[in-house]
Structure 1
């Protein structure tokens, strides 16, 4: 199991291509959520987007700095899966949109990134 770095600085030791893929996918979803959050503030939905964006970006930094990677994997799986479920319920199950016709480009990119991130997190967790 990975341990935290002493200095908290970037510690790329032990990062493999799978880690980098996860970092990129989480950062992509984080940036999309921040952009959406800024566009929806001051509504509660806007603040929830901002929160999710910050979490995705901080988790990316945490993995890159070797800060409790195993814990980040374990927390990232339900968090990311929850994002997908909440998105589907709010937009399609309880909302006015039709799936998959009304997904949109931004939604598709974000959800593909999140599904990919889920796969990466499960694989990383299995290797621990």
Structure 2
């Protein structure tokens, strides 16, 4: 399961990925990009909120990279479930109710709900 090549570089290992894997990567990338965009948007307004969005965005993209490079996929499935559920809970706690149905929120939360379902299925299959 090493992602390192003979020349010392790293290579993608996508040959074992199924459509479900690709769906998970796609939804994680969507959420990661949205969070990075929100980080840039909020950094001047609220440093704490901007940093929180930055950490979340990097987390989603790092998890996607781990799956693409076949680096401890099962561990990342297991970590991704509470990480993503935590994002949903935090969003519910801090977002005003009138912003729940904004296009960016709907896109992000739909991607995250799909991601959680995908991660649960992948985790169970990897057992």
Which of 96, 113, 116 is equivalent to 2:114?
Answer: 116
Separation (CA, whole Å) in 2 of partners of 1:81 and 1:62: 19
Separation (CA, whole Å) in 1 of partners of 2:42 and 2:51: 8
Conservation of the 8 A alpha-carbon contact between 2:99 and 2:105: no
Separation (CA, whole Å) in 2 of partners of 1:12 and 1:88: 34
Separation (CA, whole Å) in 1 of partners of 2:3 and 2:35: 28
Separation (CA, whole Å) in 1 of partners of 2:99 and 2:36: 21
Aligned length: 119
Runs of 4+ residues deviating >6 angstroms: none
Conservation of the 8 A alpha-carbon contact between 1:4 and 1:68: no
Where does residue 14 of structure 2 map in the other structure? 12
Give the 3-state SS of the residue equivalent to 1:30 in structure 2. Answer: helix
Where does residue 102 of structure 1 map in the other structure? 99
State the shift of 1:73 in Å. 0.2
Separation (CA, whole Å) in 2 of partners of 1:115 and 1:4: 30
Aligned alpha-carbon RMSD (Å): 1.1
Q: TM-score, normalised by structure 2?
A: 0.89
Unaligned runs of 5+ in 2: none
Which of 88, 93, 101 is equivalent to 1:84?
Answer: 88
Which of 27, 33, 36 is equivalent to 1:34?
Answer: 36
Where does residue 49 of structure 2 map in the other structure? 45
Unaligned runs of 5+ in 1: 92-96
Instruction: Answer 1 or 2: higher relative contact order, Cα 8 Å, separation at least 6.
Output: 1
Conservation of the 8 A alpha-carbon contact between 1:28 and 1:110: yes
